[in-house]
Structure 1
Amino acid sequence: MLPAVPLTELRQLLPPGPLLLAYSGGLDSRVLLAWLVALRDSQPGYSLRAVHVHHGLSPNADGWATHCQQICDACDVPLTVVRLRLACGPRQSLEAVAREARYGALAARLSPGERLLTAHHQDDQLETLLLAVKRGAGPRGLAAMGRRQAFAGGALIRPLLGHSRAELAAWAEAAGLSWIEDESNADLDFDRNFLRHAIVPSLQERWPGFAQAASRTARLCAEQAALADELAQADLASCQGAGASLALMPLATLSVPRRHNLLRHWLRQQTGTVPSETQLLSIWPQLVQAQADATPALHWAGGTLYRYADALHQVAKQGFLSPGQVSLTVNGLCRLPAELGWAGLRVWEAGELRLPDVDEPVSLRWCLPGGSRLRPVGRGGSRPLKKLWQELGVAPWLRARWPVLYYGEVPVAIAGKLVCEAGAPRQGEARATLIWRSASA
């Protein structure tokens, strides 16, 4: 007979509905499977299925998948086995790569309205918090793992966070459960295993309530992180510039900690990550306090930060772009290379063009040198392209990718911005209009 299952705790955490268990076959997920089966069988409105991720890293992985299938068959739980192929890049952690691939596979198999359940427990929470301390994380990192969080359009729930591994092991042994042992869990080259075997036992021996205290710390840090987000969202409303930029004038009125809090929040919204502390501390002196006529930039993992037009702009990483051109025909459709990185321009507003002569090939060109000279209509002389970009308000990160229209070897217009003297209509001559459509159109 199985020992008592904490059904009341599970019902409070998991209202009726479809459940998806991430089932590794190890002790923790085996206990959670047993508890969820008891919940399903004793309470109306629950459905349960499982996913086993086969990483292909162990010679025993096929045997583990077979074991999981047998256990799930015996429990009448449908199981999906997902096989992954992992590849580590330079300076990438195998742990991190495997984790990202695993959660990607789970997200892809989560159905609408379904909740993903993982078997992380109190000891896992302690290890996660210690790893965050090692990284020098702030409150968000020290919040470690939440019991419930948004995931892949649904929710990820960790029902075992209030239970220690020793408690789960005692329950499994009393219930006569079988589970697999992953030999990699003994490899101290992995940071988490080093903590689990070499550090955490000493901490718990000296302070038996250390894991519970760490869980409390994580909960308090989660509250502080949520409060910081609320404050940042309010500050963002008052500092929002054009588009998704941050206006410098209101940003400068904030205290340094509050400004840093807003910058982290804004960049997390833009990119899903935040700069290092060193990079964050560089934003104000390197970008904002640079010379007024400069266009400073700060490169980081999430892309590039620019100061432009009295605002901070976050620009996603752009691939290398070399000078190039594409040919056009009158009334023809021109498809620009995707690496130009923009969806299209509005209908021509800055003026009209003459039609090209029969012997004038038409082309769009990009990555032109800043020293290239153009003669805008009505200006009475030529101007360097670098100066024209500034006058026209074209942001620095767009300039190399902004097309210039040529008839033969003569520039006649900056697309969507101005017409040059060489492109101006002659007396009585037909006029042309350029229409720009988005890439999707």
Structure 2
Amino acid sequence: MTLAPQHMVRIGIAAFFIAWLTTFPMSGILLTHEQLMPWFLAPHILVLLGLGRLAGRMPLQRLQQLIRISLIGTVGLSLLALELNGGWSIPLMVLLGIASAPVSLRMGQYLKASERPIVFAALALAAGNLLSLIVVLIPLSPQLKLTFVSVLLLFLLTPLGPGQHRREPETAKLGRLLSYLPFIFVFQIVSGLMYGGLIPAYEAHAVAPGLEVIFYGAGAIGCLWLVKYTQPTAMLIGVVSALTAFALWSLLPSGAGIHGAMFFMMVAAGIIDLLLLFLVLKQTDLVRAYGYGVGVLCGGILVGHLLSMALGGAADTIAFIGLILLNMAVLSLYLPRRKSEVQAVDEPAEQTPETRLPDTLVQILSDQEQQVLRQVLTEKTYREVADALSISESSVKTYMHRIFQKTGVYRRHQLLELIRNPRAGLHAVPKQVTDPDKKAKVA
């Protein structure tokens, strides 16, 4: 896959926020005390959920103004953290959690406005974690590092692009996203518990500290196709990777076992994070989906972190039990969900008056041509049709060329008119059947 320079810039801008998040407020190397992370996360979650709840009531222009103010406030508070310590740290983290929630949404807007949102999301996750590794390795003081990652956030002020600021009408249903949120929440709790015990052990044995972030990116990019086309399978691979991490940690609690456990856990985290972003970016109303989805994800992280702090040495045992229960729940849901998805693919989609094809067209078009035509008539672009049917864009163009040849019309609006008023255009439809799969049917 070749990326144009403007695509790389868009991915980089989204990655800047991820790098800031992972190096500073989310228990990163630039956070002075690990106990400060809950003070950041709690208000961050509340604001994200609030944005999701108020998504339909907030004018788009006001939302963009809020994002710009929040972005500048986030950069200012991050730089202020260089100077404030002691009793001022907690109020600062609370304010930072509030201010950065709309900035997180801005990152989602960048991904949503891209040509291939899910591909760009995977690359941004990998690039953001790789940038955090670079921040760890560069020989600068913590103050200069925090200044660097904070100033990079200002690139999020860059316009999204012509026509990308509009928010589409709320027509997409959140049902699919909501069905996955309980799993996302529990997974983040379990992973938070594991990190609480695993990270100290890993840091004591790590041959190359920071190498684990590469495995996070490998998980996100490596499972990109699965996340895009078969989400239950991607979910299962993420859970199995996490279970493998627990097994290695239990069987080999030092050296290679600790490294393997951390690497597999990072692969699992990359897969599940990408899965959530895919479900969010597929929604028409990004604000509502992002607020609910990322808010629940952060909620799981917060609960897991608090349990890890409270349980101390017992966290690994509790997390192991929790992960077994999580796997049992996923496996019990996997087969029914998988079966329903296969049925949904095999069964024809619900047809509206605009996409119901007359018998004359059904007789002369192959099944695949009918599927492509129905998708095109819903005003989708060829790229969107290709994504919906899991075929290439060139294949869509080939099918459309065949459809035009068989129907004798060469414009989309003419096809729509032919479907709405088939008698008026029947003379334009060739009587000869050119598709061999349809000869027996016509005969």
Q: Tell me which interval the TM-score lies in, with the shorter structure as reference length.
A: under 0.3
**Relative to total residues, which structure has the larger helix share, 1 or 2?**
2
**Relative to total residues, which structure has the larger strand share, 1 or 2?**
1
Given the two structures, how large is their TM-score scaled by the length of structure 1?
A: 0.26
Bigger relative contact order, structure 1 or 2 (CA pairs below 8 A, ≥6 apart): 2
Given the two structures, how large is their TM-score scaled by the length of structure 2?
A: 0.26
Larger Rg: 1
